[in-house]
Amino acid sequence: MQQVLDRDDDFRERVADGADEKDLGRASWLFLHRPDGWGAELSLLRAAANEEHQEESATRREHAAERRLAQLGTTLTRLRDELAAAERSTASSERALASERTARLELERSRDELTQRAANLETDRSRAVRNLKDAEARDVGRLDELRAARSRIGELEKLVAQAQDLVAGGEGPAGGEGSGHGGFQRSESGVGGPVESEIPERSAGITDRAASSPWDGTDPAAVASAVHQAAAAANALSLALDRAAQLLTPLPAEPESPVPADPDAAASSAAVKGSRPPRRSPIRLQRGVVEDSAQGVEQLLATPEVVVIVDGYNVSMEAWPLLDGGAQRSSLIAMLGAVQARTGASFHIVFDGDDDGRRPSVGAPLPVRVHFSHAEVEADDVVLDMVARLPTDRPVVVVSSDRRVRDGARRLGANIIRSSDLLSLGRN
């Protein structure tokens, strides 16, 4: 449109006739009417407009910069708050780490102390075993001394008897059987000794006047010495017997065996009550609980006055198949001792005896009762026999995975636990 107005002056004049400066503005009016000097004034107006546009643009840019600066300030404040929170979290983590390190050091010190205590206890146990063996050796020596003292007392008793015979002979009438050489005879015990050998020599010089004394032909000092020796030997014997009684007294930690010593005790007691002994009833568990389960095992072993009979090698062979017989027995006894202390049940372990029928030696008191079968008897038979001999009102639990033992014990009214279930309880 500007190019058309520049080329066609008539068209521009016609447009200018209807144009007002108020409606168009000064620059547009100058362009249409073109009075003298309009070009310079128009250039000035253009320059002013450009300057005003630049100022407006600068103002807008300044406002945008201010808004950006405010946003950056807000972002900086937020970042500072996040940094402060991170520093607080880091400080808390460092304190927690320091506390954990301190607790770890305490645990390590406690572990070292427990390890040292365990080593000390093991040393004390070894020392106690050695002391026990030394005490046994001393007791054997004391028993030998006791036998020697008994022999010495026998000799002294013979001497005292001879002295009494001499005193009785001295009190007889002069010239009779109790006087002179023929008046001193051998004692009724028939044992001669130093007193008897001196009788002829002492009786040879006896006079009628001296025969009236009750000590004629005797040595009162020798008799008194013999009596004192007999008293000392009797005192030593009393002390030795008292010591032996203390050593032979059973330890109170081991409860009395619930199995009758007499095989016919259960049958005789049943005969007193009636012609037919009552049948044992198994322990009733809670509804939904079975015997061969962890909960069932715990309920059975928690039954008051329950007796638990364990098929020893059946359990130990399943738990420690690579160990020898002695190591298996020791491991099983130690494990069941802990279970007995925890549950209160009375445990009896039955092992097969040696080939020659001898019971393996035990070096220390055992926490549970241990039984060994004879060479010609299997441990299975001993287990079933023990169940049959126990009173029928006593709850009994048999531990075995052997089919024959389980069936036989169930027929006798006992509850059954598998070896694996008992091992699971003992290892927890």
Which of 35-44, 55-64, 294-303 comes out lowest in average pLDDT?
35-44
Task: Say whether pLDDT at 182 is over 70.
Answer: no
Among residues 371, 297, 370, 305, the alpha carbon closest in space to that of 339 is found at 297
pLDDT band at residue 183 using 50, 70 and 90 as cut-offs: very low
Mean pLDDT across 231-253: 55
Angle, helix 38-170 to helix 194-204, in steps of 10 degrees: 30
Confidence (pLDDT) at 231: 67
Highest mean pLDDT pick, 87-96, 182-191, 354-363: 87-96
Number of residues that this document lists for the chain: 428
Confidence (pLDDT) at 329: 93
Question: What single DSSP character describes residue 279?
Answer: P
Confidence (pLDDT) at 156: 80
pLDDT band at residue 409 using 50, 70 and 90 as cut-offs: very high
Task: Say whether pLDDT at 364 is over 90.
Answer: no
> Reading across the β-sheet that carries 369-372, which strands appear in turn?
369-372, 346-351, 307-311, 396-399, 415-417
Which of 119-128, 144-153, 226-235, 395-404 comes out lowest in average pLDDT?
226-235
**Mean per-residue pLDDT over the chain, rounded:** 76
Domains with residue ranges and CATH for the chain: 132-248 (no CATH), 266-427 (3.40.50)
Q: What is the pLDDT of residues 281-325, one digit of tens each?
A: 999 988 888 877 888 899 999 999 999 999 999 999 999 999 998
Mean pLDDT across 341-357: 84
What count of other Cβ atoms lies within 10 Å of the Cβ of residue 121? 10
Confidence (pLDDT) at 197: 38
